[in-house]
Amino acid sequence: MPWFSTTPKHDVVRRICERIWLAVVQRSLRPGARLKEEDLAEIFGATRARVRQALTALEQDGLVSLTPNRGACIAEPGVEDAQDAFSARLCIEERLVLRLCRQAGPEDIAALRDHIARERAAHQDADSEAIIRLSGEFHMLIARLADAELLSKILRMLTIRTSLITAMYQTQATQTCGPDEHERIVAAIEARDEAAAAEAMRHHLAHLESALRLDEARPPVTALREALLPPR
């Protein structure tokens, strides 16, 4: 499942959530796109009750908006929302790396380096789904290892929002969050260099934000079936 999912118990609901999330972050399903229950039920061979469960789970994650008399659509963050989300992430993630610098043990560093190794393998294999998933998981792993429950919950919401923002405003087809910048963050944490860790995180998030073109959104328009069904 995607790193931010509420993890629905039913397999069909989980599959619907995963495909919608991937379609958004891979930019084949644009923010603002309508998600008709009957279309989703046909695409996934599911009942409308299961579709509604999936849409409710995605609403809880902030990925989908549910509006009376209009139905469901992919959430549509604005420019100020984008700027606020990245500013808030900077504050939260600086705090997290500082905490981890002070308390990380050998097993924590090993977990971070194992994660980066999996990121590199995904890049080498050009596995876009794994690249996207592992990229988000890296930031949530830092939050988990820092043992910061409140900050982890806030970061989870913010990272969902920045995934949507990236899908809406980024000019490139793939996200720039990658293992080289993650490696620099981990090296600073391992050295317990708080200043270097904070700077590496600031540089990393600034790099992500710099890829956005907030003055002109060019969301791709794709048919719902084409966006959600995996390639044959």
Domain ranges of the chain: 11-77+217-228, 79-210
CA 63 to chain centre: 10
Name the more confident of 69 and 126. 126
Residue-averaged pLDDT of the chain: 86
63 DSSP 8-state letter = S
Note whether 172 and 132 are within 8 A (CB): no
CA distance 92 to 150: 10
**Which two tokens mark 194?**
């708080």
Nearest to 96 by CA among 146, 139, 144: 146
Looking at residue 174, its pLDDT comes to 46
Is pLDDT above 50 for 200?
A: yes
Highest mean pLDDT: which range of 1-5, 69-73, 201-205, 225-229: 201-205
CATH of domain 79-210: 1.20.120.530
Residue 34 pairs with which residues in a beta bridge? Answer: 73
Instruction: Return the minimum-mean-pLDDT range out of 53-67, 136-150, 206-220.
Output: 206-220
CA distance 8 to 2: 11
User: Is 73 in a helix, a strand, or coil?
Assistant: strand
pLDDT in tens, 87-115: 999 999 999 999 999 999 999 999 999 99
Instruction: Return the minimum-mean-pLDDT range out of 72-76, 150-154, 200-204, 212-216.
Output: 212-216
Q: How many residues does the chain have?
A: 232
Nearest to 167 by CA among 96, 89, 227, 231: 227
Query: Would you say domain 11-77+217-228 falls under CATH 3.90.1170.40?
Result: no
Highest mean pLDDT: which range of 7-11, 123-127, 218-222: 123-127
Is pLDDT above 80 for 145?
A: yes
Nearest to 72 by CA among 44, 86, 53, 89: 53
Note whether 73 and 67 are within 8 A (CB): yes
pTM over 0.85: no
CA distance 29 to 57: 18
169 pLDDT band, cuts 50/70/90, is confident
Note whether 8 and 193 are within 8 A (CB): no
Task: Please report the DSSP string for 173-229 in residue order.
Answer: SS----HHHHHHHHHHHHTT-HHHHHHHHHHHHHHHHHTB-TT--------HHHHHS
pLDDT in tens, 208-220: 888 887 765 555 5
45 burial level (CB within 10 Å; 0-12, 13-18, 19+): exposed
